[in-house]
Amino acid sequence: MEPFRRYIPVAVLIVLVVAVQVTTRLTDTSYYLTQLTMTAYYYLVVIGLCALMGYAGQISLGHAGFFAIGGYISAGLTTHNLIGLQDNALVALLHKFSLLVERQDLYGDTLLTVQPWAACIAAVLLAVLIAFILGGPILRLKGHYLAMATLGFGIIIAQIVLATQYFGEADGLSEVPPFRLFGPIEVSGSFGSRVQNYYIAWGLLTVGVVLLLNLINSRVGRALRSIHGSEEAANAMGVNTARYKLYTFVLSAAFAALAGVFLTHYNGSIGPSEAGVMKSVRYVALVAVGGMANLWGALIMGTILNFLSLRGVFGSYDDAVFGLILIVIMLFAPNGILSIKVRGLLARLSSKGEQNPGEQNA
């Protein structure tokens, strides 16, 4: 019975996702689905970071870089015209294996680009490879040294996309085609597929949550919690801490890159701001506000804050608000906002028990 109990919140999440969509339809507020869809993709980055920070105990200020790798690589491969390079051996090989597709741009010109599925796989694999190469040396660092190293990585990626013509420099990449998953189901920002894309985004997020729940409640999850508690003690007990930290780092990078791919095809574009340092700070703030080792707390608070941000509630103070949230959480609720209520409830129960010593003796 216990293994099934952990999936009860997943069932509740599915019911809520459907209820929200039905409510927006009945109230004629379907335009909210756009921000909710984007929120789901951003939260895919957050849950990966939640596993890395909350369970493996490793901080990262560079996950916007992995998001940008996924988005920019997929956008570049699906927008740059290869029709003039058909004689190239690599292009010919891709064409032979049906990895290229011909389509027309907005002006009716014929384009030869990489299939979105192939671009998605290439983008995620590149992010995984970079995370694997980068993670080996930097995960030997601890504390603020690790934070600075990952921050440096994020800055490098941000400067690369900003200064590279292939990635559109300061303008980014636009006219990114829809990502056809199968049959008529595709990831795009068209008005007619708003509901469909809402379910695609939250369906993908739900799959990610289930995967992490299984991981957390497995032998690997117990090893990660031991590393978070005391890396030295975990090593002494025979846990291969370096391997587990690296694998978790790579997994979180894959989540971020996949989110970048899907959101880029949904928006039809991607810009340098997605690779900015403040994006990484925002992801860390969203993990912290819900509780670093609390997937559901991060989901609740992350959804609320991301939705308000995307609706423009914070205006030009958007980044400042998330920076302030991070400071306040670290000072007053390092285990997340929801932990405050739990501690208050426990305190009340404790005081009640102290007021009734007769009942305790009984």
What domains are there in the chain, each with its CATH number?
2-361 (1.10.3470)
Rounded CA-CA distance 75/85 in Å is 18
pLDDT of 157:
95
Q: Which of 179, 147, 116 is nearest to 52 (CA)?
A: 147
Token pair for residue 320?
Answer: 């400042």
- Whether the CB-CB separation of 197 and 187 falls below 8 Å is answered with yes
Rounded CA-CA distance 148/318 in Å is 23
pLDDT of 340:
64
Rounded CA-CA distance 328/319 in Å is 14
- Whether the CB-CB separation of 45 and 286 falls below 8 Å is answered with no
Q: Point out the residues of the chain with pLDDT beneath 70.
A: 1-3, 338-362
